[in-house]
Amino acid sequence: MSVDVLKVDALCAAHGQLVAVREVSFGVARGEVLALVGANGAGKTTLLRTLAGVHAASAGRVALCGDDITALPAHQRVRRGLAMVPEGRRLFGDMSVRENLRVAGEHGRRGRWDLAAVLEALPALRPLIERPAAALSGGQRQAAAIGRALMSNPELLLLDEVSLGLSPIAVDGVYENLEALKQERLTTLVLVEQDLDRALAFADRVLCLREGRIVLHGRPGELTRAAVTAAYFGMETMEEGMQ
Instruction: Round to whole Å and give the CA distance between 128 and 27.
Output: 36
DSSP 15: E
Tell me which DSSP letter residue 50 carries: H
* pLDDT tens-digit series, residues 71-109: 999 999 999 999 998 876 678 888 999 999 998 887 767
Q: What is the C-alpha separation between 129 and 14, in angstroms, rounded?
A: 39
201: enclosing H helix or E strand: helix 196-202
Report the chain's C-alpha Rg in angstroms.
18
CA distance 186 to 7: 18
Four-point Cα dihedral 106, 111, 113, 117, nearest 10: 120
Q: Cα–Cα distances in Å, from 215 out to 55, 212, 235?
A: 22, 9, 12
Between 198 and 234, the higher pLDDT residue: 198
pLDDT digits (tens, 9 = 90+) for 6-16: 999 999 999 99
**Residue 86 main-chain phi, psi, to 5 deg:** -75, 160
Contact 138, 170 (CB under 8 A): yes
98 CB-near residues (< 8 Å, 6+ apart): 115, 129, 130
More confident call, 207 vs 172: 207
Contacts (Cβ under 8 Å, ≥6 apart) of 116: none
Residues 130-179 pLDDT 10s: 999 999 988 888 889 989 899 989 999 999 988 877 788 888 888 888 88
Predicted pLDDT of residue 241:
36
6-89+156-242 belongs to CATH 3.40.50.1360: no
Q: Where in the chain are the domains?
A: 6-89+156-242
CA distance 141 to 146: 9
Determine the Cα–Cα distance for residues 178 and 150; give it in Å rounded to an integer.
Answer: 11
Residue 19 — φ and ψ, nearest 5°? -85, 120
Q: What is the pTM of this model?
A: 0.88
Integer Cα distance of 173 and 52 in angstroms: 25
